[in-house]
Structure formats: C-alpha cells, structure tokens
Amino acid sequence: MPTIAPSPTPGVLGNLSETANSVFLGFPSFAVKILLAVVSIFLCALVVRLGRMAIRRLISRRGGGAQGQTDTLRSMITSVFEYTMYFVCITVILSIFGVNVSSLMAVAGVGGIALGFGAQTFVKDVISGIFLLLEGSIVVGDVVEINGLSGEVEAIAIRTTKVRSPKGNQYVIPNGDIRTVVNMTRAYQKAVVDVRCPYEESVDRLVSILRDEMEKCWSEIDGLSEPPDVLGVISFDVDAMIVRVLSSCAIKENWRIERELRRRIKERFDREGIRMPHVDKLPKA
C-alpha cells in the first residue's frame, strides 16, 4: 500500500502566501511609482522645451525694442519659467512617493529663518537679475567688462549672467556679485592706435604724414563716425615716441578699424622711408 506524504501545515502555507503577496504585489506598486516619476520628468522636460519655443515666438512678435533688449527679456522670462517648472516637477515626484507636500511646506515655513540665511545669496542674485532687466544697463549682445572680466553678453538669467570672452571662454557671473560694469557698446566706440615713431624723425613731419593718411582713411574705411584725429605725442619710450590716433566708430567695429589703421600707417611709413623702431636681435656668441 503506497505511503501518502503528509501535507504542509496551514501555518506554513499562510507564511508562503504572505511572502508571495509581498513580493508579487509590493514590487509592482513601487515600480509604478518609479514609472510615474520618470513620466513626470519626461513631461516636465517636454513642457520646458515647448515653453522655450513659445516664449521665443511671443517675444519676437512683441518687438518694439532693440535686438539686445528682446534677447535679454526672452532670456529672463525663460529662466523664470524653467525654475518654476522644475519646482512643480519636484513637488509632483514627492507626491508620487507619498511625501506630504503640505506638511513639508509647513516644516519649511517653521524653518524659514534658518533656510533664509542659507538662501541669502540666491535671493540676492535673483533681485539683482530683476534690476538688471528693469534698468537695461546691459543687454544680450553688449560687449562689457564686469568685475574685470571682458566679453560679449550671451545670456542674462534670473540668477546669473553669461559672458563670452574674445578667446572663447565663458564666464558665469552671479548677478549679486556684479559691482562694476563697463559697457563698450552704447552709442559709439573709440578706435585707439598708439604709433611707435623713431626719435630721428621730426614730430611735425610725423604728425603731418599721419593726418594726411587719416584723411584718406576717413573716406575709404567703413564704420568710422568721423575722421581719425592725430592727438600728437602722448609719451616717450626708451626707443620710440608714442603718437596716438583716435577716432569714433560704429559699435563693435573698433577692433577691425584699429587693425586697418595700423596696416595703413605701416604701409605709409614704408613709402615715406620712415623706419619704425624695433629691437634687433643680438647674434648668439
């Protein structure tokens, strides 16, 4: 007669059932939360991208200002919109994982004083950014010097200002740290060329030749607002007199005009037989 194996006790079956339920029912619940969080992040990124496009179109249609002011306004509004969407996304994700956002906000309110001390720098940057926008002291596209850093303004956000240097370096400057601003793109600029002239030549002859050449430059070089002015000798070096040439020119054209003036002065001196001072290299022993 075959032997019948004893059946498991009800207690063992109950434990196995509870374990199975915790594994097969608990895991999907957590997985759903992860999935919802990922979807929330994706939707936030999509809304931010669409919002940027909408802001760009709305600001472009608005018009009524210079291109730099339009770019600055777009940059600032986009920055505020992005920070708002990031805050909403974080709040939604916390709610998905069961965090009571209302209670969290209440706790944040109780600890607001302590948080305020830590957020002083952030608040200062934001307030300074708002004043930069309202005052219009700098706009996107301006060539500026901020706290000793020179370059072209690429973006003015709610918290930082980005400046691109002539060498391609990008400076990210907190708005609250902006103390001194030199704006080199308002109304007009100055092209300044210091010419090293030999002591052997007469000052009157040098100035006369330079003024004659500058009159020709006035009619031949685009971007000049007035004939370049030969100021005369401004200083003396060990091996040369320094004669300064100065002229008003169009915004952002000063570097190009300075290069062209130097080229023309060198060619004119060559035609006049004037040898510009230079240091001869001594032969090696």
pLDDT tens digits for range 44-103: 889 888 988 888 888 777 655 556 667 777 777 888 888 888 888 888 888 888 777 666
CB-side neighbour CA atoms (13 Å) of 62: 14
Please determine, for residue 208, whether its predicted confidence score (pLDDT) is greater than 80. yes
Of 265, 271, 259, 256, give the one whose Cα is nearest residue 197: 265
Report the C-alpha gap between 4 and 25 in whole angstroms.
34
Grade residue 104 by pLDDT with cuts at 50, 70 and 90.
low
User: Is CATH 3.30.70.100 the right assignment for the domain spanning 189-272?
Assistant: yes
pLDDT of residue 234: 93
- Please provide the average confidence, as pLDDT, over all residues in the chain: 79
Q: Which CATH number fits domain 120-183: 1.10.230.10, 1.10.1660.10, 2.30.30.60, 1.10.10.1100?
A: 2.30.30.60
Report, as an integer, the average pLDDT of 203-221: 91
Q: Is the pTM of this model over 0.75?
A: no
pLDDT, tens digit, 9 for 90 and up, residues 166-188: 888 999 999 888 888 888 877 67
Say which residue the tokens 């302590």 belong to: 114
Report the share of the chain in percent with pLDDT over 70.
78
Q: Round to whole Å and give the CA distance between 208 and 265.
A: 12
Under the banding of pLDDT at 50, 70 and 90, the label for residue 24 is very low
Q: In Å, what is the CA distance from 107 to each residue of 94, 111, 112, 196, 268?
A: 15, 6, 8, 70, 77
Kindly state the tokens that stand for 284.
């090696």
Joined together, the tokens standing for residue 205 give 């002859």
Q: In this predicted structure, what is the pLDDT of residue 19? A: 52
What does residue 163 show for φ and ψ, rounded to 5 degrees? -125, 130
Residues 268, 270, 271, 275, CA torsion sign: positive
Task: Give the Cα separation of 204 and 206 in Å (integer).
Answer: 6
**Res 9 pLDDT > 50:** no
Half-sphere exposure of 159 (CA within 13 A, CB side): 10
